[in-house]
Structure 1
């Protein structure tokens, strides 16, 4: 293990007093809104690409699981008759 000390700035340290609950809720909402403003929606072509990748992956996984199901089913019939 490392014994290095982590130094946090005053803004990163959790407050010990807690403060007003409504002030903390308002701060949380402001931070959420600020983060949501950073979100960039995908373009139409990116959305089509992502959807295609997900569907192809889903089909591949379905084929793999189906093959395993048939293989184990055949194995059970062969072993237990």
Structure 2
């Protein structure tokens, strides 16, 4: 015999029911629900392998070095420009 689709609750009804039950919980029940959801999310986390970790670290370090060089270059150029515009050329200390 075929299942009757009308007998099954839709996803919207189930979601609304869960929201209603969550709204009726006390403060400790909400904290417990939150901690339960945190644990469930942490179970989904995939830790990288050692090789992936070194690869990711290398990429981040290379990006930081490139950005430091870029910002240092801009700082030097703008410093020279400000020295010429507002002073007597580049300042030497």
Give the TM-score normalised by structure 1: 0.79
CA RMSD of aligned residues (A): 2.1
**Which structure: larger Rg?**
2
Q: Secondary structure at the match of 1:11?
A: helix
- Unaligned runs of 5+ residues in structure 2 are 1-11, 89-93
Distance change (3 Å), C-alpha of 1:30 and 1:50: same
- Unaligned runs of 5+ residues in structure 1 are 1-7
Determine whether 1:11 maps to 2:45. no
Aligned residues: 75
- Cα displacement (A) at 1:35: 0.6
Greater RCO (Cα-Cα under 8 Å, separation 6 or more): 2
